[in-house]
Amino acid sequence: MAMEIQVISKENIKPSSPTPPHLQTFELCLIDQIVIHPSYATLVLFYPNHNADTILQAQAKASALKDSLSKTLTHFYPLAGRIKDHCSIDCNDVGAYYALALAHGRLDEFLSLPDYTWMNSLLPFPSGFEPAGEDARITNIQVNIFKCGAIAIGLCISHKIVDGATVYTFLKGWSNMAFGGKEVVHPNLTAHSLFSATALWLREPLTAMWESWFKEGKCATRNFVFDAGAISALKAEATRNGVQNPTRVEVVSALLWKCAMEASKKAHGFKKPSRLTHAVNLRRKLPSAVSKDLVGNVIWLTSSEWRANHCTTLHDLVKKVHECIAKLGIEFVNKVQGDKGYVAIEESIKDRGEIGSKGTMDNYLISSWCRMGYYEIDFGWGKPSWVPGFIGHGSSVFANIVNLMDTRCGEGIEAWVNLDEKEMEILQRDPELLAYTSLEHKQRSFRGFSKM
């Protein structure tokens, strides 16, 4: 359901204390520097009105957020700056863009049948389509107040310095400050020393890879929800066929890849070779004392390829995904650290092979934001009822990108699939995919909520 969004105020929220001169140039780590596409990481958190607040009371909550945000930016000072170049951020305390908006409708009405195009209006700009290049502001926030007093917080933060885990760390710090929690989150800003940036030429061979996920045509977004039972069934099928200890992300990714390949074949009349690339969080391979609250793009990409003449079975694809993710284990993370880390990155790029010219190969990117903890973010009004994934609906780019998110209970997965419109029409009717999930699952689950 669509509804009008009216922005009623815009301002800059500066850090409560100025950044010291010796910290005003923040050096980006190796992986930050080779993030080619100047996009934003985006997220929306929906908070029901459990306390029956009026709109004025909800606006007072939004106003109180500004003070805690200012204090939080003192600790997360790079997020209050501007992108200087590929190598650094100017921590000039320009602050975060902060908008307050009114949604002329009720949250329960919208959630009964979410309109993905309208959801982008809850963000400071739609799905990170605005460029986040040089001199761009790092942090942009829009707080939306519904007619029922519910609140949705939309964020666009430059991907030059944040990944999904960094977004969570920032939200944890901000919400703790707003809630008056005992723990003050001090971000770990040492990624540059862990992953030294000594080989800027690596940006060039990655350009073709990034561009392979941006193709002409109109993008459609659909949300496929896998509950715990469906995931257990997928894991059991893969295990019966010889895959050892597949994860829930691996089996969901493999099924989506299989069905996407079939949709492409039906849409174009022939089967193309296909590559699935996974963004892997490297923090989980680092000692906890090193990785705790580590800020930056502490991720790397690993790929699997499937030839057009190969028979495509689910367990074969699960095995492919499992093996490619396993490449980015502790040994790889150890190699990528230090002054010679770029050598491991270079080897990884070569191992990925040729991308191929546009149109000759289907390239899919899956980014999992599962187990991040977004449903624990409490600003003092309770936990969010819904945290959807990336939505590229209606755009001419961002096709073939999938964002995996937790369901509210934490046991299932919401797969936010962005695909060419023609291929999406086929995918959403795929009987194998619908045997494990349903497009109607989300709408049915929200009809169970009380009025918000």
Using CA atoms, how far apart are residues 37 and 133, in angstroms rounded to an integer? 9
Determine the Cα–Cα distance for residues 236 and 240; give it in Å rounded to an integer.
Answer: 6
DSSP string for residues in 52-103? ---HHHHHHHHHHHHHHHHHHHHHTGGGGSEE-SSSEEE-----EEEEEEEE
Give the active site residues. Answer: 159, 378
Query: What is the C-alpha separation between 438 and 435, in angstroms, rounded?
Result: 8
Q: Looking at the chain, how many residues does it have?
A: 452
CB 377 within 8 A of CB 175: yes
Structure tokens at 440: 């109607």
Q: How many CB atoms lie within 10 A of CB 25?
A: 15
- Measured CA to CA, the distance from residue 240 to residue 228 in angstroms comes to 18
Q: Can you read off the two tokens belonging to residue 290?
A: 């090193």
| Secondary structure class of 124 (helix, strand, coil) | coil
List Cβ neighbours of 180 (8 Å cut-off, separation of 6 or more): 380
CA 447 to CA 428: how far, in whole Å? 22
For helices 164-179 and 55-75, give the axis angle rounded to 10 degrees: 120
Residue 389's SS3 state is: coil
Task: Compute φ and ψ for 303, nearest 5 degrees.
Answer: -125, 150
- Buried residues in 158-185 as b, exposed as e (16+ CB within 10 A): bbbbbbbbbbbbbbbbbbbbbeeeeeeb
Residue with token string 């993008």 = 219
User: Comparing C-alpha atoms, which of 421, 425, 402 is closest to residue 413?
Assistant: 402
